[in-house]
Amino acid sequence: MRAPIAVALGAIPGALGRYYLSLLCARLWGTGWPIGTFLVNLSGAVLMGLFVGWMTDRSPLYPELRLLFAVGFLGSYTTFSSYILDASNLARSGAWVMSLAYGFGSFALGWLGLELGRWLIDRWR
């Protein structure tokens, strides 16, 4: 039961952080370009890199901390950080082609999936 609680406790501040950073960016720079999402994704990737580097030797000692921060906080702050970590792990293991296929494939198929969902809703209306 501790694992779901750790994820939930991390998710709340992650989601609120994303929300408030996006509001701040919209107020400062407008909504013409998604600067809020852009900054959330970049900062999430940096935070994931810092966390993974720091946890390399500590992971067995603090499993709930990994769940709280990497899955809960960063998972609700941005899924981009997990996406980039997965692509990086593939590349670091020597699977460069798989890493690139995963990275570009996730983007392209994700975009197509989103457009399919929009198209289906438009047809349903």
Look up the pTM and report it.
0.74
At residue 17, the pLDDT reads 96
pLDDT in tens, 112-124: 988 999 999 988 8
Residue 115 neighbours by CB distance under 10 Å: 10
Q: Which of 86, 70, 55 is nearest to 10 (CA)?
A: 70
pLDDT confidence band for 55 (50 / 70 / 90): confident
pLDDT in tens, 81-111: 888 888 999 999 999 999 999 999 989 998 9
Using the Cα atoms of residue 60, residue 5, residue 50 and residue 45 in order, give the sign of their dihedral. positive
As a whole number of angstroms, the distance between CA 11 and CA 32 comes to 28
Q: Which of 83, 82, 124 is nearest to 106 (CA)?
A: 83
Task: Give burial (CB, 10 Å; 0-12/13-18/19+) of 97.
Answer: exposed
